[in-house]
Structure formats: C-alpha cells, structure tokens
Structure 1
C-alpha cells in the first residue's frame, strides 16, 4: 500500500477544511454565539510526546499515555477553558462541558481513527487549596487548540478552531495550513537529542516528620476515630539546570511501561508529571471499569524472593483489610448512583517494576443519565489515597501534612461528547518548575502499621521517581 505524503493529504482535504470552517462560521452567525469547529485529520505515525517536546513550558497541556494499551494523547494549548473551586467544582465543570458540546461541530470523516471531541480535566485533591500559591486550581477543564492521538500505529491530528460572527475565514485558512505544516515537520524530521541529565541536590528525607505523623495517626486509629489514613510525604530536589519535561516522560514510560504516564501543564511554567498504576475510571460505550488498588509489597531480587513476597502480600491480614476498604467504598459509591458493580471476591496482584499491589477490577454498566463527572465526584478520593472514613481522614491529612497536595492523588483525564472518559489517579508523581522538583509518595496507615515499614514504602516509591530525574 503506497504511503501518501502528508502535505499531499492536506492539499487533498483543503476544500473539505474550508467547507467545515464555512459551516461553522454560518452557525456562529445564525446563533450569534461562538462556535467551535473540530477537524480530525490523518497524519503519519508520530509520537505525541514529540509535539510536547517542541512546545513551550508556558503553553497549557495534558499528556496521557498507556503503553500497554498502545494509546497516547497530547492536548496542547487552550481554546476554551474554565476553572472552579469549592464543593460544586465537579458540577461546574460538567455544566461547562455540556454547554459547549452544543456549540461544537465535529468533522472526523477524513481520519481513519478519531477520538472525537475531548475535554481535558484536572482536579486538585482538595476542593479548596491548602495554600494560596497552589500551582493548579481546584478544578480545571480545557478544549485544546491542537491534539495528537496515537492508537497503535495510527495517528490523528485534531485541530479545534473558535469561530465568531467577526471571524475572517480567508485569513484563517492559510494560518491553519501553515500550522499543519509545522506539525508535519515533526513527523519528517529526526528527534532532536535530549540534553544531558542534570546533577541533583537532594536534601535528606525528613523522616522524623513522617514517622511522627504516622504515630499520631495510629493513636487516632487506636481510639476508633479513624480506620485508615493515607499519609503522603514530599521531597524537594534542586537540579543544576532546568528539567526537560519530555525527557522525564520518556524515561518514565521506559521504566514503567505498565503504568499511565502523564503530564499536566498549567501554562505558567509548572508541570505535574508521573507514572501512575491507578485508574480511577474508564468508560467506553457506557461500560465502566474502576480499580481497587491498595495493599503493597516490594518486588524481590530473585524469582524465589519475588514469589515469597507475593504470597505474603496475598495472605497478609493487614494488607487484605486495607484493600477491602477500597473495594467496599467503590462498590458502595457505584451502587448509590444506580450501578450494579461486578468483581471477584478475592484480589489479584498488579506487579509493577519495583512494587506490587493487591488489585481488584470492578465493572459496571453506566446508565444513560449518569455523566462521567458524576462518577468522578462520587469516587474521589478513594480510601486508597485518603482513608476511612473519608471525610475525617481528609481533615487529618490537612493537619498532618505540611505541604500542598495540589494534583497529587487526584483525578486527571478526559471526557468526550459521547460520554466516554478516562481518569487516572495522580500518584507516583512530581511537580516540576524550571530546575526544581517536588516528589510525592504516600502510604496507607491502618491498625498494625509499623512506622518504619511505612517509611520504607515511601522511600521505595520516591526512588522510582528519582531514577527518572537522573
């Protein structure tokens, strides 16, 4: 099958692009409201990370890749956006998406594969910031100007354009073609080399702060005020030169091919990146899957040691109890929304490169009237990242932790106009700004927890992030 050069493809579809813009412009005139035209175009196979590598750190973005599923997406630039704070933040983002879905025309007939119109969202762990200088709002949603999605070897470029009754179509079309050719050059040119990894100044881990918090948490558990609490720790690192965002993500996806590799940029030079093993939810054609992921153990250096650690994890009463908290919570919340969850009664193992977890996938069919954000609101935060009871655990997290969680352990993902959605939990993550990085890791504290063992788990998770930085 002959390969058609991308430039020829653009020229072939120039009239279709012009027709789509004309129709969108007429819609804007008829309604006297802004109208978005979303164009999906076939492009040669290209790694979406290359577009992020060429972009400015001051350009808003969201990157999400699942190597095991052969899917990757980068959303770049903000065409329309909104932010929210407070208990109604999920509802306000939902209303924003619903309003704009009536003002968008999608033209995807030209592409072999198109994900359709996707809104990209991030939610902070708390609905109000812990600190006034938090780098990310409590809730944020945007429709990107440009998006590259790769599904196996098929790549699709999505261009979203905002038209108003005052738009100049004759000036707009050449500008679009020029930008398409700029993206074309990424597919044709070799990837520029990443800079050498910077040297790091890493302060000693403040172990006493964490272990003291664990002791205080265990006292509350002993007095039946909590059953579980997840305590996180932050480690600040200074580099000899600015971190390269794409380089960090490249290392993460090489080192953690079984995780979701992600990056969220706030458009002001700050990125939140990581490799998360935890999916909050995935919805495809109203079929939902969510993961109960709690109870952890390191991997062994040999096959025998690894098998022994796995057996100990599967038979540990403490780890099983911690895992069951999450299963019970997810099942209860889904049932309250009218879903009928199904799952295995005994957990399996999710074995990652340096750690393994008890894992129970939970499936259900989503009713027509249930929006993905209804589910995100109901499921966040799970006991895997907060505790039991959830409200009391969150209150104590604010007391015990001396830093702002921001997007750590919070939902990050997308929603399309047909009710499909994917959200991960932002764990195993770091906040990056110029040559500074803040690394996050957490551990679940229950009755019987040993502060030193929980600290070892924190070190294990931080070590995986440090390997990506250097």
Structure 2
C-alpha cells in the first residue's frame, strides 16, 4: 500500500495510473475526506438514486456507522479455505492500493464489508441464489460516522487507460448526488401472506435430536426454521433499517445487498471485534422474554440467571470462545459468571471475553476459529454441523454466518447474523433457531423460535 499525507489527490491518481500502465494491473485509489454531519440512514436511502449495490453497518455500541454504495472490488474465496483466501485477496489488493488520508479513522479508506454463509458445504437452493457463499465488497463510496464525525471515502480501481480529470469529475458528481439533502416519507407495505415453513417436520426433528443426544451422538445441536412473508408491494429496505434502529437497542444493524436481494438484520451477538490490536468477543447464549412490568422483567431475568439448561448452554459457548481466543490472543480475561443483556423483546445471558491479538494473527483468524459457536451450531462442532446439514429442512445461506467488516489498519468487527431476514422485492424469508439438548421440549423450543422472529417480523408489519 502506498500511503501518504503530503501528496495531493492529483499526484495519487497520477501515480496509480502510472503503476497500472507499468504492471498492466488495475490499482485501487482510496481518498478520504472529512465532511459535514449527515444522517447515515438518510444517506443510505438517498443512495438508491444510483441504482447500485448498497451496504450498511451500525455497531451495537451505537457510535460507529458505515453506509456504502457501489463496488470497487469484490473478494470471493474458494469454499475450502475461505477465510484464508479472503485474507490473501485482501492483502494482494492492499499491495495495489494508493491511499490519500490525513485522518486515519477506523472504517475509512479501503474497507471490505460482507459476510460468510453458515456452512458453504451444504447444498444451496434458489433462496440464496443472489449471494455467493462468501463475499466481501469494497464500496466505491463510503460514509463513515465515528465519534460523531463524518468521513467520506472514494474507492476506485484505476486502469492504464483512465484519465485523471475524467475520474475526478465522475467522483465529484457522484459525491454531490449522494450528499444532497433529501426528505423521505415511508409507507410500510401490508403483509398479504404469512407462512411458517414445515413447522411439524421441524418439531419432529427437535424430538429426534433429543433422542440422538440422549443416545450419546452429540451434546447439543441448534436447529433453525423459516417464516415467509408476501407483501402488497416491494419492501423499502431503508425503512426497515430505520425501524430496526428505532426498536432494537444494543444490536448490530446491517444490510448487505447482492443482485435483487437484501440480507437485513438486527443481531445482538458479536462474534469478535479488533481495534488497535485489542480483541473483544462475547458470549450471548440463553434466552428469555422481557417482562410486561418492571417486576415481571426482574423475575424473568432472575429465572434466566438460575436456569440450568440456559446456564449449561451459555457455558458451552464460553469455553469454546476461550479456546479460540487463547490460540490467537494473549492476556485473556473472562468474568466468572454471566450477566443479563436486555433487548426490546428478549433478554440473554452475556459474558465478555477480552484479550490482545498476538502479532502475526488477523481478525479473520479469530472469525475462522470462532465460527460456528455452540450458540448457533452445537457440540461437538463437526458432529452438530453434519447433523444440521443432513436433517435441517432449511437453506440457511448467510443466516447465522459471520457478517461484518475490516479495514486496512487491522480494525474490524464481525457479528453472528441472527434476528435477520432475506428480502427480495415483495417477499421476505425470516429465520430463527434454538439450542436443542437432551431435555428439550419441541413445543417449548417452537415457542422460543417464535419469540426470536419478533424483532424482524415487527418492523415488517407483522405481529
């Protein structure tokens, strides 16, 4: 990467064109500017005028948001070594990047946004045909809001026959369109059909899984199911994101567009975050509803903190995270007991895990070791994955897979894509899962998954 604070943008572009001519390889130019504050949700909505791919990410901490438009480059790895392949492709791209940035804020400059499917080895269906099994996109235009300040990044591949003035004119014209202030009024579409897919078959599978666990095949398996919605008109994804932000506190708000589909969600479950070599992972496993009154809420929370099944499930995940983090991190710290993590509709058991990332390791090394956690796969990991692949009547696609971002300074964050939906025009598929152990009851597990549909179903107009 060629990174300079003293050169002008013209010099950076000229240098990139020159290197492209010498090597006959396109070069990535990345230029960052500090801009006046703008609402990322309105930016995302306004970006629809470009009729190009849009990406969105808001941290659960609430102080970091990115909205991307267009595709400067795409990283699509092989199935067998997808995390290593992505890392290799990212490094190669960074070696061909000419970067103009005097701010050096996280999530600015070259940023790759996207995700990985839950299990690339499972046979796919037409449901996820618009998405690769793994795909990270470097957006052409990126708005980043961090610590209350806004930055605008232009990422563009420069070819040997490109002309500087033409590129600059195109960038400035698009930037003006994207930053133009607009007013939006959204009308939620009406649900015409609401169908839960293969409900009885799913309950039978839960029963079969408990018997297989009792027989010693595995300790736990997470089984997911699908709900399909049909609307009277196309769903406005900008509206969905805004509603998720309004209603789902302490959650990652995300949307990844590919082809005619958007994968959208509000997940509370961080997989891993790395910033300035400091590593944070969290265990979020064990679920109970929120109470209708303060007293009921407290009672339910205490019930969760003392529930043997949920505590056992939570500890499964904590121990797995410990092993993964210790292989790539040092100075690992884990509290002795979980605390409550409240959301609008649900509350979970929560345990943070902190460490320092060891030299020579990357964010994607941690993602590879952590995915899938027992909270969305099971134990033992490989046995549970094979069980899901063989028996679960659902094409999970990116549901329960790692989604997130990384930048050129080793910063980044990935979350587990639960509480999510795949939206295609006037249709949506919602996904929900639960952990099955030896004493699980199919009807109770069904009710738990019904509760977990609530965040997405509510913002899409359902009840």
TM-score, with structure 1 as normaliser = 0.92
**Paired position in structure 2 for 1:9:** none
Q: Deviations over 1:110-155 (max 9, x none)?
A: 6888633211231000123422533322211221111111124311
**Paired position in structure 2 for 1:83:** 76
SS in 1 for 2:418: coil
**Paired position in structure 2 for 1:11:** none
Does residue 166 in structure 1 map to residue 161 in structure 2? yes
Return the match for 2:223 from 220, 231, 254: 231
- Check conservation: 1:120, 1:415, Cα contact below 8 A: yes
Q: Distance in 1 between matches of 2:200 and 2:106?
A: 52
TM-score, with structure 2 as normaliser = 0.93
**Paired position in structure 1 for 2:269:** 278
Does residue 218 in structure 1 map to residue 210 in structure 2? yes
Aligned counterparts, 1:265-344, within 5 A: 265-266=257-258, 268-337=259-328, 339-344=330-335
Q: Distance in 2 between matches of 1:153 and 1:376?
A: 28
- Check conservation: 1:66, 1:257, Cα contact below 8 A: no
Q: Distance in 1 between matches of 2:241 and 2:277?
A: 31
**Paired position in structure 1 for 2:10:** 18
Q: 1:319 to 1:245 in 2, by over 3 A?
A: same
Q: Distance in 2 between matches of 1:113 and 1:127?
A: 30
SS in 1 for 2:152: strand
Q: Deviations over 1:181-220 (max 9, x none)?
A: 11231xxx33221134323311256431221111011011
**Paired position in structure 2 for 1:121:** 114
SS in 2 for 1:84: coil
Q: 1:343 to 1:461 in 2, by over 3 A?
A: same
Return the match for 2:371 from 376, 380, 387: 380
SS in 1 for 2:375: coil
**Paired position in structure 2 for 1:154:** 149
Deviates more, 1:410-419 or 1:57-66: 57-66
Q: Deviations over 1:216-243 (max 9, x none)?
A: 1101110111111111110011111110
Q: Structure 1, unaligned stretches of length 5 or more?
A: 1-14
Q: 1:226 to 1:237 in 2, by over 3 A?
A: same
Does residue 360 in structure 1 map to residue 351 in structure 2? yes
- Check conservation: 1:114, 1:156, Cα contact below 8 A: no
- Check conservation: 2:73, 2:137, Cα contact below 8 A: yes
Return the match for 1:70 from 63, 70, 75: 63
Q: Distance in 2 between matches of 1:256 and 1:160?
A: 31
- Check conservation: 1:146, 1:158, Cα contact below 8 A: yes
- Check conservation: 1:84, 1:137, Cα contact below 8 A: no
Q: Distance in 2 between matches of 1:111 and 1:323?
A: 38
**Paired position in structure 1 for 2:443:** 452
Return the match for 1:109 from 93, 102, 107: 102
Does residue 208 in structure 1 map to residue 200 in structure 2? yes
Q: Distance in 2 between matches of 1:373 and 1:88?
A: 12
Aligned counterparts, 1:430-445, within 5 A: 430-445=421-436
Q: Structure 2, unaligned stretches of length 5 or more?
A: 1-6
**Paired position in structure 1 for 2:243:** 251
SS in 1 for 2:444: helix
Return the match for 1:180 from 175, 184, 188: 175
- Check conservation: 2:116, 2:135, Cα contact below 8 A: yes
- Check conservation: 1:76, 1:145, Cα contact below 8 A: yes
**Paired position in structure 1 for 2:3:** none
Return the match for 1:263 from 250, 255, 259: 255
Does residue 390 in structure 1 map to residue 381 in structure 2? yes
Q: 1:96 to 1:264 in 2, by over 3 A?
A: same
RMSD of aligned C-alpha atoms? 1.9
Q: How far does residue 157 in structure 1 lie from its aligned partner after superposition? A: 0.8
